[in-house]
Amino acid sequence: MAPSKREQFGSSFSFIMAVAGSAIGLGNIWRFPYMVGEHGGGAFIVAYIICCLFLAVPCFVCEAVIGRRGRSDVYGSLERLAPKSKWKWLGGVSVFAAFVIVSFYCVVGGWSLDFLVRSLSGRLSHGDPDGASILFKRMSSGTLEPLSMYVTFLLATALIVIGGIKKGIERFTKITTPLLFFLMVAMVIYSVSLPGASAGVEYLVRSDFSKMDAAGWACALGQAFFSMSLGIGAVLVYSSFMKKEDSILKGGLWTAASDTFFAIISGFAIMPAVFAAGFEPSAGPSLVYETLPFIFAKMGIEAPVLSWIMTMVFFLAILSAALTSSISMFEVCIEYLVHRFGIKRWQAAVAFLVPILMLGVPCVLSFGPLSEFKIFGLTVFDLCDFVCSNVLMTLGALAFAIFVGWRMKRADVFDEFTNGGTLGFSAKVFRPLYFFVRWLVPPIIIIIFISNLL
């Protein structure tokens, strides 16, 4: 069981920076644009915002309520709030899901590290734009290069988590997140100004809802949960370090707002360039990594130095965004072992590295030597992504919502959500939110989930 004296985030701001850092990651820059591309553009964005506001925010609140009241890892918090019940096993599922996500997430993190290394030498900013998209295929389909980048990224994640997240990471994200924001805005301006880019802008603003079938809605919901880091207890664990005086609602709304803003900004940075370069918007996971080198190479023709600097800073920012996210997943795993078995953080990290590598290596090779190896028609990487994003996270979020709505006492939820009734605004929205969590969130998630499976 957790020690009663638990570490705390220094301030509400630090908490928001940590959860927003977890939320803003590759999901925004890499996943969101290709999801938009695969599901018909603007309509998907509208569906995404609806899912975010009405489903993701209430689910964020649920996880935060459990975490701050339980004050332990996922398993320990559930055990404390529902003693002698089976709910604690949900903690086991969360840790499993977190482990699978880290395993495949670090593949993409490794790619961004690879691109950062490439950009240092100027190879990205001084190449031929038309040949730029080949770079990614050549790199990701290799063996040694992507594997070494994967391992490096994974070790960096492990080291930061072992060292404690608060000091290093908090300080780091306070600089890099705003920087990434400014760079993204600059990228949007550049991207939109490329000849032929208007088709991309049109693609993003046009809302063709005929393309939004059940699968489209399920993906929008999955993306909202993925991007807000929900369903596997990451928000829960971070909230267990949250101060008693801080507002849970404020944390949820700020995270949702900054995360959505970042996703849309990324869409506008990438999609116009996709059209300008003549790529397919539905190219899938490789989309961003094929498009960005094109933009930078093109920029490099007119402004080589600027392009070189932009490339480096941009990939550094992506890398740091990816790291602050991978840390939150790893933290879910580590906290579990530390609490359950009373071992040290570094021991827990080492214990997790072995299975992560065992799953991660086939994920890396899914883009090369193992690209033809399919399970249910999906590569190992795609299968991990699908199982987590479309199944485990959705069901995890559903379970947390049911726990808060039906298992916890209403008075306890109210107390935690409003800090003992001291937060006026939270107290005002409590009634509709609680109603939502009980009666609307679970059925909506179930309907979207089942219709997607059918």
* Of 1-9, 225-233, 250-258, 294-302: span binding ligand TRP (CB under 6 A): 225-233
**By CB under 6 A, residue 26 contacts ligand TRP:** yes
**Count of all residues that appear for the chain in the document:** 454
State yes or no: residue 255 binds ligand TRP (CB under 6 A): no
Cα distances from 181 to residues 28, 173, 214, 300, in angstroms, run: 12, 12, 32, 21
Q: Which residues, numbered 370-409, are part of the site for ligand TRP (CB under 6 A)?
A: 393
Please check whether residue 291 is in contact with residue 267, taking contact to mean a CB–CB distance below 8 angstroms: no
The answer to the question of residue 34 lying near ligand TRP (CB under 6 A) is: no
- Residue 56 in contact with ligand TRP, rule: CB under 6 A: no
- Minimal distance, residue 425 CB to ligand TRP, in Å: 26
Stretch that binds ligand TRP, among 88-96, 137-145, 321-329, 339-347 (CB under 6 A): 321-329
Q: Is 426 in the site for ligand TRP (CB under 6 A)?
A: no
Q: Is 227 in the site for ligand TRP (CB under 6 A)?
A: yes
Pick the closest to residue 301 from 421, 125, 420 (CA basis): 125
> Taking the complex as a whole, how short is the minimal distance between the CB of residue 112 and ligand TRP, in angstroms?
11
Member of 232, 334, 408, 433 binding ligand TRP (CB under 6 A): 232
Angle at 34 between CA 93 and CA 132, to 5 degrees: 125
* Closest CB to ligand TRP among residues 27, 91: 27
Region binding ligand TRP by CB under 6 A among candidate stretches 25-33, 44-52, 184-192, 348-356: 25-33
State in angstroms the smallest separation of the CB of 165 from ligand TRP: 12
Name which of residues 96 to 135 contact ligand TRP (CB under 6 A): 101
Does 325 sit near ligand TRP (CB under 6 A)? yes
- CB crowding 83-114: b at 16 or more within 10 Å, else e: eeeebbebbebbbbbbbbbbbbbbbbbbbbbb
Query: Binding string to ligand TRP for residues 265 to 304, with x set by CB under 6 A, is what?
Result: ----------------------------------------
- Taking contact as CB under 6 A, which single stretch among the options 20-28, 85-93, 274-282, 349-357 is the one that binds ligand TRP? 20-28
Q: Binding residue for ligand TRP (CB under 6 A) from 22, 103, 125, 426?
A: 22
Q: State the minimum distance, in angstroms, from the CB of residue 328 to ligand TRP.
A: 4
Name which position in 247, 328, 390, 426 contacts ligand TRP (CB under 6 A).
Answer: 328
Residues that bind ligand TRP (CB under 6 A): 22-23, 25-28, 101, 226-227, 229, 232, 234, 325, 328-329, 393
